[in-house]
């Protein structure tokens, strides 16, 4: 039994003709089904239908075609087991050494508007996962085994290896492909589980499935976690839209640490709150997951200098993010300070030359995508909290002025600036701002009053004037005392969600102090 077969049955036909042609040149006979077989024949390749190979026709509308001993025997026989090989020989079953299968597009099917349960069920692949799992299980050993491919990106490297090694595939490659194949089927089954456990037979649906199985790909091992005694790794969501920190490209600098990545994410998500076309250049400086300076400017340099001035002490060793490409002038100013990470959508050639002198600075480039993740996670002891992202749309026209005094146009402009900043500050969050820059930030306190006071202290320490500023609060004021602190500091306008049982008391306090106050109706807790 010298014939060797490759079985090709794919829904994604990217590169399959070229792959099949390469296998044929290596002496493998081609087995295929349905649309894949048709595509190969139209390309001039000689293909044997699985039905012809098994001597058993497809049946049940194609539900049964590859589930046959002549297929699975050729895949599952151990190449180092004489009894297995003898059994194949007795039945005239040839070996299948290469299996290229990707599955019915279940996720794409259920994502279509109006997809019915019946359509979803019909797009659950059975024969495909069976072949993939069989081939992956029998990836073998140094004596031989099956190469299984579920990703078109693996076609060309496999052909290159086979051409270089007389048609053989190394055990290391077969092992890698097998691990990838099991991951592929695991995620396929997880997608089906998510869909089915998020609905009832009657058609009622839930946003959250009864069984939850997230899937991430490891980017790298990290030297350690938050502290040196903790181990850590960095994983990426393979389905995430472009624009998140996980899609960033590191252009220079030392390896990113656990804390670097966490803080870079905080800085990047905050700076993306400001649209370059509408708001102009923005700069955000983050330290320990909190913004310590945010500002807009006519250019990146001005935005940076204004943000840095908010809290130069905290900015030391921080993470700096821009929403526009960094030019040479901004790069020179940034490089004059000690920083851990710089992130922006791009850099001029001159800026990269300036930054190259700071070899340890981690320079990241990331696209400005705005699509949020589907879910956010927080690990707790023995469980997992899952929620949708804090990505509620905000319409300034829906703001409600609740005080006698209306905000001036300048105050309203600044209120709309500090409000998205507060969203990215750990609660209880208080943000003072003036002329589209932060002048004081109070973060992560157990009391909103303390956050209000700390923000003033930090502003004064930086030599900034709080009087005449506006204030954003991420949640409502439960009592008037926090508002009294703001008024005493000289703030003139406040933006907050509202919704407290004591809103009337707080509004009365604002009127008493001559403050303008607007309610958003949106809370932005960031615990």
Distance from C-alpha of 378 to C-alpha of 28, rounded to nearest angstrom: 50
DSSP 456: H
User: Which of 96, 107, 105, 112 is CA-nearest to residue 128?
Assistant: 105
User: Which of 114, 125, 118 is CA-nearest to residue 201?
Assistant: 118
Burial of 254 (0-12, 13-18, 19+ CB in 10 A): middle
CA distances from 495 to 146, 235, 322 (A): 64, 37, 25
| Peptide linkage before 428 cis (omega within 30 of 0) | yes
Query: In the numeric block, which tokens belong to residue 275?
Result: 């649209």
Q: Quick count: other Cβ atoms within 10 Å of Cβ 257? A: 19
In this structure, what is the dihedral angle of CA atoms 475, 480, 483, 487, given to the nearest 10 degrees?
170
**Residue 344, helix vs strand vs coil:** strand
Distance from C-alpha of 504 to C-alpha of 27, rounded to nearest angstrom: 83
Instruction: Please say if 137 is a catalytic residue.
Output: yes
User: What residue has token string 């009622």?
Assistant: 204
Query: In the numeric block, which tokens belong to residue 241?
Result: 């839209």
Of the candidates 84, 180, 254, 288, the residue annotated as catalytic is 288
Helix (H) / strand (E) containing 380: strand 376-380
Of the candidates 137, 218, 426, 513, the residue annotated as catalytic is 137
Burial annotation 426-461 (CB, 10 A radius, 16+ → b, else e)? bbbbbbbbbebbbbbbbbbbeebbbbbbbbbebbee
Q: Which residues pair with 322 in a beta bridge?
A: 283
Distance from C-alpha of 388 to C-alpha of 208, rounded to nearest angstrom: 10
Burial of 112 (0-12, 13-18, 19+ CB in 10 A): exposed
Distance from C-alpha of 169 to C-alpha of 101, rounded to nearest angstrom: 18
Distance from C-alpha of 344 to C-alpha of 347, rounded to nearest angstrom: 7
For 253, left (φ over 0), alpha (ψ -120 to 50), or beta? left
In this structure, what is the dihedral angle of CA atoms 402, 407, 412, 414, given to the nearest 10 degrees?
-110
CB 433 within 8 A of CB 413: no
Active site residues: 137, 288
């Amino acid at each position: 039994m010298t014939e060797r077969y490759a079985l090709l049955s794919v829904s994604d036909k990217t590169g399959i003709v070229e792959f099949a042609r390469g296998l044929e040149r290596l002496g493998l006979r081609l087995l295929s089904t349905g649309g894949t077989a048709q595509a190969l024949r139209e390309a001039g390749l000689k293909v044997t239908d699985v039905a012809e190979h098994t001597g058993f026709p497809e049946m049940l509308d194609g539900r049964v075609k590859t589930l046959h001993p002549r297929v699975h025997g050729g895949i599952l026989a151990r190449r180092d087991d004489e009894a297995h090989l003898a059994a194949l020989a007795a039945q005239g079953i040839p070996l299948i050494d290469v299996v290229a299968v990707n599955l019915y597009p279940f996720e794409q099917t259920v994502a279509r508007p109006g997809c019915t349960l019946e359509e979803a069920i019909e797009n659950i692949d059975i024969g495909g996962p069976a072949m993939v799992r069989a081939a992956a299980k029998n990836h073998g050993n140094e004596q031989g085994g099956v190469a299984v491919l579920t990703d078109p990106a693996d076609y060309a490297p496999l052909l290159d290896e086979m051409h270089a090694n007389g048609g053989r595939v190394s055990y290391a490659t077969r092992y890698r492909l097998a691990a990838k194949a099991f991951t592929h089927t695991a995620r396929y089954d997880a997608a089906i589980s998510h869909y089915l456990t998020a609905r009832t037979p009657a058609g009622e649906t839930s946003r959250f499935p009864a069984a939850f199985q997230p899937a991430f790909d490891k980017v790298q091992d990290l030297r350690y976690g938050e502290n040196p005694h903790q181990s850590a790794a960095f994983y990426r969501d393979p389905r995430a839209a472009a624009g998140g920190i996980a899609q960033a490209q590191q252009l220079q600098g030392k390896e990113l640490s656990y804390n670097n990545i966490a803080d870079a994410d905080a800085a990047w998500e905050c700076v993306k709150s400001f649209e370059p076309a509408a708001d102009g250049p923005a700069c955000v400086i983050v330290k320990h997951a909190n913004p310590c300076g945010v500002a807009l400017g006519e250019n990146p340099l001005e935005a940076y200098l204004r943000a840095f001035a908010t809290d130069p002490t905290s900015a030391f060793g921080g993470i700096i993010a821009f929403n526009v490409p960094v030019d040479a002038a901004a790069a020179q100013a940034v490089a004059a300070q000690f920083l851990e990470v710089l992130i922006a959508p791009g850099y001029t050639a001159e800026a990269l030359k300036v930054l190259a002198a700071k070899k340890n600075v981690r320079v990241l480039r990331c696209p400005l995508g705005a699509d949020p993740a589907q879910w956010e996670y927080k690990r707790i002891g023995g469980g997992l909290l899952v929620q949708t992202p804090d990505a509620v749309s905000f319409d300034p026209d829906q703001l409600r002025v609740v005080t006698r005094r209306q905000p001036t146009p300048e105050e309203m402009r600044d209120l709309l600036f500090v409000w998205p900043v507060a969203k990215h500050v750990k609660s209880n969050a208080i943000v003072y701002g003036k002329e589209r820059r932060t002048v004081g930030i109070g973060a992560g306190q157990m009391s909103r009053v303390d956050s209000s006071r700390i923000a003033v202290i930090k502003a004064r320490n930086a030599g900034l004037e709080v009087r005449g500023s506006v204030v954003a609060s991420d949640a409502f004021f439960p009592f008037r005392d926090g508002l009294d602190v703001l008024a005493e500091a000289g703030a003139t306008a406040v933006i907050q969600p509202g919704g407290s049982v004591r809103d009337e008391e707080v509004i009365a306090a604002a009127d008493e102090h001559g403050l303008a106050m607007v309610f958003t109706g949106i809370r932005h807790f960031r615990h």
